[in-house]
Structure 1
Amino acid sequence: MILYLLRRVLNYVILTVIASCGAYMLASATMNPTYPLEQRHPRPPQSTIDSLRDAWGVNPDVPLIERTWTWFTGVLHGDFGLGVNNHPVADALFSRAGVSLQLLLIGSILGAVLGVVLGVWGAVRQYRASDQVVTYGSYFIIAMPTYVLAYVLMLIAIFVNSVLGFHLLAFVGQYSADQPAGFFPQLWDRATHLFLPTLVLVLGAAASYSRYQRSAMLDVLGSDYIRTARAKGLLRGRALVRHGVRVALIPMSTYFAYSFGLLVTGATILEIVFSWHGMGELSVISIQKEDVNSIAGSTFFVAVLILCSSTLSEVLNAALDPRVRR
């Protein structure tokens, strides 16, 4: 199993390098962040513009392959180049990565667990009232765009705050401008700001996971080994948990890796809606400013997250399926 995982991780590392370098090459070949400087009156000296082009990786006089190699070797040493504000991109990545990971880690874990539980529950109680409620609710959330769901929850939070007479649920920024003193008051303040964006991610992920898990579980319920386990005297609940759920989770482990990319996209939209200064906001601002190094750095961050989620998916798949371990 170790060799299997090493091969898979090596494949994901190669794909991460290709995705990051491809993003850099595409941005460097098509974008011109020095255009506003070129339109100034008076125009800055050409030497100044050329030096900025070299620093920002968009000098057309340097071959694209050479620019990409310079950027990639810098990344290997932790240097992602300079942004259009002439500050190191690495500093922006490290400061914003923690902000995005708060949403992604909590949202992905809670969403996956809740989705699996709802999917199993719906399959076991097929066509009953509880299954119908989960099914219609899931399709309703899946059909709703992420930003619409975010604004609906914001309106609900405003109503709840007005009824209670104080701000129980906050939806702007990561923390209040006037943070209270003390560890626990500050922790509560952060939690109130984290609740709504995390809830949006959890609901979206749970709705999607529940549909796949319900379908996989229904296929398992009619399997011969479930009937055999019941015929040998194993209780229905224990047979489902011990033999059914474990087998039904195998395709879900693969789906987790591919759905994580959609979760990253949803987090990008939520960071803008809820005014969180994370990687999603950095990506949008970088594209608007044609900041090549920041775009490549953001792509590298997302690629590493996909690498980690894919590796975790392979580990879960190997743990659930003995055929993979052999």
Structure 2
Amino acid sequence: MLTLAQDTPELTWLNVLIGLGFIAFDSALSLVMGLGIGGSLMVAAGRCILQLSVMGLILDKVFASQNVWGVVGIALLLNTLGAFEATYNKSKRRFTNMFPLILCSMLSGTVPISVLGTRFAMSQNPFWRPDQFIPIIGMILGNAISSIGIALNTVSKEFSENKDKIETYLAFGASRFEACKPVGVEALKLSLLPTVNQMSVIGLISIPGMMTGAIVGGKSVEQAARLQMIIMFMISASSALCVLLALFFALTTLVDTQCRIRSDRLDARKPVFYRARDSVLEGVWNGIKKLKFWGRNKGHGSEEERRGLLDHQHN
């Protein structure tokens, strides 16, 4: 019997270019209307192409090797890159030791749930089968990054703009847990709202990618639906656990054991490597402008000299 996977045409870079055309259209529309999102869309699309191309090359070798240590290495790499993204790209402000703390939060929230979920909920033996485990931990991390970013941006905004409410609680004798609880609860609710909304409409309004992939791969619709349920439950639980740990680390950093708000531990500047990049690019641009200015002055001087010589000859 011919499966859907056999009927699926092989995609080429031309197909990718056609898909990229949709992003290019949105970017052009943004430029015409002055919306200011065109550059972000194109940069994100470029990162998507580069990252997926590299990941495809790496995963192809890992899938072929069926090596448990290759899977462990990929899982650690994905968590490290996820912590970097959440710390330096998704967060507008950073607190002291944020990167290692977020990495710890993500490892604690993604690895146990992905291992237990694939082994028992999905009945995979061994649980580390690369073609099953790596895509699942990747999906879990993708949602965890977004949730952590929302939660930490909410917390940093409160401590930067509305810290008087927290100070009032502390002034009236509240512990740092009691003073920070309203901020933490609000941040947790906001961060999990997209995941909860997605889980509530899945199957009724949207058909998710994992279910579609399973159907295309030859599974029955019923089996694909059950697989998607398990994946969504793992994503939601992992995101909640990652956010809880990240909030704990953030709030205990920004309010110390003496119940003092430590705004000095919150940094709104760009990361140091981005500042260094901007400095280098600014220096290069200034050098280009100086070269242009020097060339223009040289041209003008030559023209003035020629005019002076002509006037002198004429006289």
Q: TM-score, normalised by structure 2?
A: 0.30
**Over alpha carbons, which structure has the higher Rg?**
2
- Structure number with the bigger relative contact order (C-alpha 8 A, sep ≥ 6) is 1
Q: TM-score, normalised by structure 1?
A: 0.29
